[in-house]
Structure 1
Amino acid sequence: MYERRFLALPLTRRAALGAGLAGAAAVLLAGCAPTPRYISPTAAAVGSAETARNSTGRVVTTSLRAQATTLDLAGTQVPTWSFGSIPAPIIRANVGDTIEATLINGLPEETTIHWHGLALRNDMDGVPGITQNPVAASDEFTYRFIAPDAGTYWFHPHVGTQLDRGLYGALIIDDPNEPLAYDEEWVVVFDDWLDGVTATPPEVLEDLRGGMAPMPGMEGHVMRMGNMLMGTNSDLLGGDSGDVFYPHYLINGRPPADPETYTARPGTRVRLRMINAGSDTAFRVALGGHRMTITHSDGFPVEPVEVDGVLLAMGERYDVLVTLGDGVFPLVAEAEGKGERAFALVRTGTGGAPDSTVVLPELRRNIGVGAALRAVESVALPRKTPDREIAVKLTGSMEKFNWAFDGVPFDPAQVERSTRGIRSGERVRLLFENTTTMWHPIHLHGHTYQLLDGGPRKDTSIVLPGETLAVDFDANNPGQWLFHCHNIYHAEGGMDGLISYEA
């Protein structure tokens, strides 16, 4: 996916030999090469932007081996792919540290790693054919970049439907001067799961490409049709909430029949770092018997808001604070509109564990969503009139499975058709108008934008049917950056675009 011609990209080990043989020819042709229209990921401006970042000089090294494995689903072993465990071991660093992560590809096909949410250097963003050559089977590639901002982030492939397997993990960037007071933290990753059970992700995509005819009157009556779901409905998402059937919903790789248990003492103040690694499912999350205080969205601090639960779109992250009571409590992540759930336990005392089907009144009370939050003053963008405004229409339908921006599905062979140009130093306003009848979680690479009127700083936001999301960002990270729907099947269907800095 995203193969692009005539672009100089960071080389894998095997590609280096071929590049050396082609070097002489490249020198002969350089004199007649046209001036590039956009700053490439290998341009000097990308390296200069990295050099300008505050650096501690400390290097955090890690290796991630992508490989075939099995996942234990409450005693049933299913084949899948992972980075050794599901989720992968957490990667931690401090702001300003250099992360040096070597991807070793033990898969039967090419892959990459995208560092979701980080405003990192462009050539380390992990988008094949745009920012790097894909890493071939049995090859390896080392990502090296400075971690610019504290927060909760994550990593996953950006090749085909690989995200809908087990290839993901949390990336936590700590602030040594963290102002938030808490005793412990718990990283919680939600996922929808089908790989090795009902189908493989490529098989699901092939089914979806055939389209799904609407069935009037089915709303709220969920029915499985092979790998697809009919009748999903959510008031928070404005209608159809998802179209893929998943037999399992997981918290930290475990199903409700074998739940993860977090153990602490009563009165412990816990920071929950929540990540939605799902591919077609939003999760409505609550902890039974507790309220939670939202402190961060997509890594950046917000004005604290006390809620009963939160809604996480695919790709979104929320940090919340909870002061634990005495007992055994259910953490429930409802698969929004699908009638199923993920489930875990929090134990601070004795007593029996609640059943995974327990009814939580918190799930029907005050649910926090990103659009209602406000950025704290320290991270709010300075007030400024936009220098450039880019309007993007979200188009398509499940009936034809023709997802796109502005009616133009992303075509790797014609990238220019999907590219919007900007200039370094500009304040850019993006207007995402959803003309479809389904919600979309839109993710922008390489930048954090701010919702208008003091809204939160984010990189992934829900765009409801019939509504327009307006966000601003500062063009201070040169290169070529993907933006796309983080429903992996919509992205593979063509809902992708590029924002490229003009040379």
Structure 2
Amino acid sequence: MALTACTPASSRLLTPTSSPVRTAEAARAVTGRTVSFDLRAAPTALDLAGKSAQTWSYGSIPAQALRASVGDTIRVKLDNGLPEETTIHWHGLALRNDMDGVPGVTQPAIAAGDAFTYEYTAPHAGTYWFHPHVGTQIDRGLYGALIIDDPNEPLRYDEEWVVILDDWLDGVTATPDQVLEELSAGMQPMSGMEGMGPMAMGNMLMGAESDLLGGDAGDVFYPEYLINGRPAADPETYSSSPGRRVRIRMINAGGDTAFRVALGGHRMTVVHTDGFPVTPFEADAVLIGMGERYDVLVTLADGAFPLVAAAEGKEARGFAIVRTGSGSAPAPDADIPELSGLVATADRLTAASDVALPNRQPDRQLAIELTGSMEQYDWGFGGRRFDFDRPLDQPWQIRSGERVRIEFTNSTDMWHPVHLHGHTFQHAGGGPRKDTSVVLPQQTLTVDFDADNPGRWLVHCHNIYHGEAGMMGVVAYQA
């Protein structure tokens, strides 16, 4: 049966704690081991090269990485020391529905001063991350890496480096809530600015352009771009030895910025995206949209090298140093040819054979149109903005066991990284398995997934300001 629009919500839907959800969790392979963590969300100060920014975090920015193995039970107690309610979403994990961290859809929000314990089985190996799913909190310092190890890891490498990229304004120019309020008033295009480059107007950014992103690269002005919580003026240094093979796990935790990432003097071999392996692909740089993750292998040369995360189209960058020997540290504005070389994007990748979906015709098709504009700031799906007070109004409905095809058609003049909770989909034509993918303006992205994780799952743009303006919806399993 094919559906091309939202069906009425009168049909009974599975609840996050229903029997099928519990049955799916019980069917997961388990190790019998429980790994426990404590997190506290609270106000904090971030040191930006001697300048202090008041923000929120889980104790550090980024939070200490959480690590477990496939089949482990993960137990995380979150104490909410913020002045408002919050949750944690475990981005990319196909976990049990009642632990997904979406207020009004999978759980009540955790009130200020309260606590909640998340507990679930780790279903798949890979690079994931965690962040709130309340308002614009993700554009503060509330994020960290979640690494799920494969006990039978087939890759061979000597060490790992987790690299979290972020665009930063909280406590410097504005709060994310103030930015959303300003954006929501709309932005009128200004003639005569073509070719002038990015120009800040309050918290808005005009003239940020990228061919890779199909035009408009972003609309928020950020005064800083961070790698692992540090600005270019005070960069992190990763120390190693020549000849060492490093797995770099890259995560884009930004709110409005895609990053083009390259390591001076090196090529990268892309081996995973969004936690799932791909046919190895050699490139000079990698383009990472908000919410995406890419794992690359690099064999280190001798010396000191710049790791550059260019804010795509915004003429700014995050910066870190890789040092394996003597020599002067590279400058933050170092010109590296890799940034203009071959850029790995999802459309160039193919899923590894062991994770590719079996050939099967879809049982159900969902047509999701991305709509809206900067002028009205009316981002939504199908011309409809998400109702946060009635999140289960008109969900897209599916049934367990179906092969589901989604056609994301972007009718806007801006790119959008769309994220589906609780599942990984595969790009059409044998492309990669992902949970977050860039849909370019005036283009259609077709993906398939198997409905094997019952519950109610959010689908949304991972530009935090687009999502909060209304580009969200729910895919819900029928009872």
TM-score by length of 1: 0.92
1:434-454 CA distance string (max 9 Å, x none):
000000000000000000111
Give me the whole-angstrom Cα distance separating, in 2, the residues matched to 1:36 and 1:425: 18
Give me the whole-angstrom Cα distance separating, in 1, the residues matched to 2:393 and 2:43: 36
- SS at 1:133 equivalent: coil
* Displacement of 1:86: 0.3
1:304 aligns with 2:280: yes
- SS at 1:46 equivalent: helix
Aligned to 2:40: 65
Query: Structure 1 residues 352, 476: closer, same or farther in 2, change over 3 A?
Result: same
* Displacement of 1:372: 1.2
Aligned to 2:323: 347
Q: Which of 171, 175, 189 lines up with 1:214 in the alignment?
A: 189
* Displacement of 1:417: 4.0
1:184 aligns with 2:159: yes
* Displacement of 1:217: 4.3
Aligned to 1:363: 339
Q: Which of 67, 73, 77 lines up with 2:52 in the alignment?
A: 77
* Displacement of 1:37: 1.0
- SS at 2:326 equivalent: coil
* Displacement of 1:416: 4.2
Query: Structure 1 residues 426, 351: closer, same or farther in 2, change over 3 A?
Result: same
Query: Structure 1 residues 35, 363: closer, same or farther in 2, change over 3 A?
Result: closer
Give me the whole-angstrom Cα distance separating, in 2, the residues matched to 1:233 and 1:119: 34
Give me the whole-angstrom Cα distance separating, in 2, the residues matched to 1:217 and 1:370: 34
Aligned to 2:12: 37
Structure 2 counterparts to residues 87-106 of structure 1, below 5 A: 87-106=62-81
Give me the whole-angstrom Cα distance separating, in 1, the residues matched to 2:198 and 2:62: 29
Aligned to 1:488: 464
Aligned to 1:15: none
Query: Structure 1 residues 106, 414: closer, same or farther in 2, change over 3 A?
Result: closer
Which structure features the higher share of helix residues?
Answer: 1
Give me the whole-angstrom Cα distance separating, in 2, the residues matched to 1:305 and 1:42: 41
Aligned to 2:5: none
Aligned to 1:127: 102
Give me the whole-angstrom Cα distance separating, in 1, the residues matched to 2:217 and 2:393: 30
Aligned positions, number? 470
Query: Structure 1 residues 347, 96: closer, same or farther in 2, change over 3 A?
Result: same
* Displacement of 1:90: 0.5
Aligned to 1:381: 357
* Displacement of 1:412: 2.3
Q: Which of 275, 293, 307 lines up with 2:251 in the alignment?
A: 275
1:112 aligns with 2:104: no
Q: Which of 435, 441, 453 lines up with 2:417 in the alignment?
A: 441
Aligned to 2:22: 47
Give me the whole-angstrom Cα distance separating, in 1, the residues matched to 2:29 and 2:367: 33
Q: Is the 8 A contact 1:452 1:472 kept in 2?
A: yes
1:175 aligns with 2:150: yes
* Displacement of 1:39: 0.3
- SS at 2:108 equivalent: coil
Q: Which of 126, 129, 132 lines up with 1:151 in the alignment?
A: 126
* Displacement of 1:474: 0.2
* Displacement of 1:320: 0.1
Q: Is the 8 A contact 1:110 1:135 kept in 2?
A: yes
Give me the whole-angstrom Cα distance separating, in 2, the residues matched to 1:414 and 1:175: 39
* Displacement of 1:215: 2.0
Structure scoring higher RCO (CA < 8 A, sep ≥ 6) equals 2
Q: Which of 219, 226, 229 lines up with 1:253 in the alignment?
A: 229
* Displacement of 1:418: 4.2
Aligned to 2:474: 498
Which entry has the higher C-alpha Rg, 1 or 2? 1
* Displacement of 1:492: 0.4
Give me the whole-angstrom Cα distance separating, in 2, the residues matched to 1:495 and 1:421: 18
Give me the whole-angstrom Cα distance separating, in 2, the residues matched to 1:259 and 1:105: 30
- SS at 1:470 equivalent: strand
Give me the whole-angstrom Cα distance separating, in 1, the residues matched to 2:135 and 2:191: 32
Q: Is the 8 A contact 2:66 2:145 kept in 1?
A: yes
Q: Which of 168, 173, 179 lines up with 1:204 in the alignment?
A: 179
Give me the whole-angstrom Cα distance separating, in 2, the residues matched to 1:297 and 1:345: 23
Q: Is the 8 A contact 1:408 1:418 kept in 2?
A: no
Q: Which AA in structure 2 matches 1:192?
A: D
Q: Which AA in structure 2 matches 1:406?
A: G
Aligned to 1:136: 111
Give me the whole-angstrom Cα distance separating, in 1, the residues matched to 2:454 and 2:199: 46
Q: Which AA in structure 1 matches 2:461?
A: C
Aligned to 1:324: 300
Aligned to 2:136: 161
Give me the whole-angstrom Cα distance separating, in 2, the residues matched to 1:289 and 1:317: 22
1:198-257 CA distance string (max 9 Å, x none):
000000000000100112443442111000000010000000010000000000000000
Give me the whole-angstrom Cα distance separating, in 2, the residues matched to 1:195 and 1:410: 25
* Displacement of 1:36: 6.3
Identity %: 67
Unmatched 5+ stretches in structure 2: 1-8
Aligned to 2:426: 450
- SS at 1:377 equivalent: coil
Q: Which AA in structure 2 matches 1:359?
A: D
* Displacement of 1:78: 1.1
Give me the whole-angstrom Cα distance separating, in 2, the residues matched to 1:279 and 1:450: 24
TM-score by length of 2: 0.97
Give me the whole-angstrom Cα distance separating, in 2, the residues matched to 1:36 and 1:467: 32
Q: Is the 8 A contact 1:423 1:502 kept in 2?
A: yes
CA RMSD of aligned residues (A): 1.0
Give me the whole-angstrom Cα distance separating, in 1, the residues matched to 2:327 and 2:122: 43
Give me the whole-angstrom Cα distance separating, in 1, the residues matched to 2:70 and 2:257: 31
1:293-333 CA distance string (max 9 Å, x none):
00000000000000000000000000000000000000000
Q: Which AA in structure 1 matches 2:15?
A: S
Query: Structure 1 residues 418, 36: closer, same or farther in 2, change over 3 A?
Result: closer
* Displacement of 1:415: 3.1
